[in-house]
Structure 1
Amino acid sequence: MKTLKTGEFYGQTNQTLHLDFATITDTEYTHDRVGWHYHENAYFTFILQGNVIEGNKKEVYTCTPGSLLFHNWQDPHYNIKPKGYTRGFQIEINNNWLAQADIDIQNLQGSFSIDNPQVKLLFYRLFKESKANDDASIPATEALLLQVLAGMDSSAVTGSRNRPDWVKQVKEAIADDLSHKFTLKELATTANVHPAHLSRDFSKYFNTNLGEYIRAMRVEKALSLMHSGKLSLTEIAMQCGFADQSHFLRCFKTFNADKPSAYRAVLAGGSTITHP
């Protein structure tokens, strides 16, 4: 079974950044199928455009724009790409940097999907920094990567069985219909818990309050829809539950520090970023 070296991925790699703490690649998937293989480093795959199916010994993931996977170095996997253009953003982590930063990822075994919207939003910012092409982008990228690792609560991945049932029910209810105007009472009824209990314990399992979680989910969904280029910003705002364009703009800039139009230009392949 082949082991891919640092910066090596199957497909057409359009950009590679070799940094002291990580290697970052922007790759177009060109192979219809890639057999079982390893990577020598632990790394993240963030799907920017298109679709890909990835399987390991335990699970199979159908990845769409906005899907985020973490792979520990020892885990073999395979890929199947449906027809069409598919683009991924990968960050391989330097083991020496992990040791110097006193970060232990050995408890993050195998490959798994990350659905935390706050962590996904950090990846959109990491992608943006990879295109910034200035001397501030390197420390900004390192700081963002540290935030990602801090946000990957290992108990949320390996100890999900210990979470109460209402956590999954609330998460699914919000994700299933982001355009819905949720109320605390409604979500509590869906999850069969008292509103006071939901309000009190929500941040324990979601690392933020209910309102900020919904806003983060909506912005993250909006970003994933931008990749297709098929929808206008007005259509994206409506699909994601924003009251109007002004509301969409305010929330987007809160999480991304850019106008949606400026970020869409980066996704289209721009090498630099124009801040509003």
Structure 2
Amino acid sequence: MKILTKGQYYGNPNSEVSFDGVLLSHYSYTGDKTDWHYHENPYFMYVLRGNMMDCNKKAKSLCPPGSLMFNNWQEVHFGSKHSDRASGFHLEFERSWLKKMGVSQQLLEGSQLIEHPRVHLAFAKLFHEFAMPDSYSVVSVEVLLLQICEVLSKIKEANTAETPSWIGHLKELLHYDSHDFSLQYLSNQLDVHPVHISRAAPKYLSMSLGEYIRQQKIKKAIPLILDPTRSLTEIAYQVGFADQSHFNRVFKSFFKMNPSVYRGTKKISLG
């Protein structure tokens, strides 16, 4: 079984930045399929372009653009490419970094797709710091990584608590349904009273329902923004905003910049 050490991935490396135990890298994926392997360190793969599939001994996960996949150290898996061109942004951290920062090594186990929009937004910010660094990028990367660990810790706590069965269905609707959400629509789909949904959602989503929906829309927009063939107006409508002006305001509230400025990140070739 092949083990990939720090900074080793299948494909062609485009760029790499190291921050004291944390490694950020951008790879173009070339081969149609990798060998079975595992990694020395835990890492995340954020798919920037193309369709990938991550396969381990328990599951196969389709990873289109915008997908965020976590693979823990010593998790045996292989990857396959399902489009002509594909690339990804990697965040890898040494276990010594987790210990130094007081983060549990059991924060995440195995391999899994990460769906929570707050984690995705943090990764979008990480990619921007990576693509367009300045003198504050080192501290920004560490802060963002700690924020990611904090959110993942809360998700793990919520998953271990006794959770109503309809919460899983709610998350599926919010992640995959393209409907223009309203409390009444969700109530009809879940067969749960609207008031109960609005009161219970913050406990299991770690934020209000409205905030989760806004973050989910921005999460869907990020890979589209990085595609230069799409206009921002088209993207705004596609992810569920009434117009580009509303899209701009919500995006700026999370990123402190307009989507047109963030789009400058695409100066890195996506492979």
| Fold-level similarity (TM above 0.5) | yes
Matched, 1:184 2:202: no
Cross-structure match for 2:221: 222
- Distance in 2, Cα, partners of 1:187 & 1:132: 39
Alignment-derived partner of residue 53 in structure 1: 53
Are 2:78 and 1:78 equivalent residues in the alignment? yes
Match of 2:18 in 1: 18
Please state how far the C-alpha of 1:238 moved relative to its aligned partner: 0.6
- Per-residue deviation at 1:158? 9.4
Secondary structure of residue in 2 paired with 1:152: helix
Note if contact 2:46-2:68 (Cα within 8 Å) is conserved in structure 1. Answer: yes
Assess, with a 3 A threshold, how the Cα gap between structure 1 residues 269 and 151 changes in structure 2: closer, same or farther: same
Offset at 1:31? Answer: 1.3
Kindly report the root-mean-square deviation, in angstroms, between the aligned alpha carbons of the 2 structures. 1.9
What letter matches 1:81 in structure 2?
Answer: K
Cα deviation, residue 154, structure 1: 6.6
Aligned twin of 2:118: 118
Equivalent residue for 2:207?
Answer: 208
The whole-number CA distance in structure 2 between the counterparts of 1:7 and 1:89 is: 12
Give 2:239's aligned residue: 240
Q: Is the 8 A contact 2:107 2:153 kept in 1?
A: no
Matches within 5 A, 1:16-165: 16-106=16-106, 108-153=108-153, 156=156, 159=159, 162-165=162-165
SS for the counterpart of 2:34 is strand
The aligned residue for residue 253 of structure 1 is 252
- Kept after mapping to 2: 8 A contact 1:6/1:41: yes
The secondary structure found in structure 2 opposite 1:248 is helix
Deviations 1:188-246 (Å, cap 9, x if unpaired)? 23212222211111011111101111111111111122233332111111111111111
> How far does the alpha carbon of each residue in 1:245-265 deviate from its partner, in whole angstroms, 9 at most, with x for none?
110100111112221112122
**What code does the residue aligned with 2:2 have?**
K
Amino acid at match of 2:100: Q
Once the 2 structures are TM-superposed, how far is the Cα of residue 161 of structure 1 from its aligned partner? 8.9
Instruction: For 2:249 and 2:107, locate their aligned partners in 1 and report how far apart those are by CA, in whole Å.
Output: 38
Deviation at 1:160, TM superposition (A): 6.7
Name the CA distance, whole Å, in 1 between partners of 2:107 and 2:136.
32
CA distance in 2, matches of 1:139, 1:146: 11
Q: Partners in 1 of 2:139 and 2:89 — Cα distance? A: 19
Q: CA deviation at 1:184?
A: 1.7
**Greater shift in the superposed pair: 166-175 or 86-95:** 166-175
Cα distance, 1:166 vs structure 2: 1.6
1:98-152 CA distance string (max 9 Å, x none): 1111111225221111000110010000000112322200000000000001111
Q: Unmatched 5+ residue regions in structure 1?
A: 271-276
Which portions of structure 1, spanning 4 or more consecutive aligned residues, are displaced by more than 6 angstroms? none
CA distance in 1, matches of 2:202, 2:247: 24
Query: Which string of whole-angstrom CA distances, capped at 9 and with x for unpartnered residues, describes residues 16-75 of structure 1?
Result: 112103011111111111010111001111111111111001110111111011111010
1:134-186 alpha-carbon deviations (Å, 9 max, x no partner): 22000000000000011113754994794222212222223344451x22232
SS at match of 1:35: coil
Task: Structure 2: give runs of 5+ residues left out of the alignment.
Answer: none
Contact 1:43 1:90 in 2 (8 A): yes
Once the two structures are aligned, what percentage of the paired residues are identical? 40
Q: TM-score, normalised by structure 2?
A: 0.93
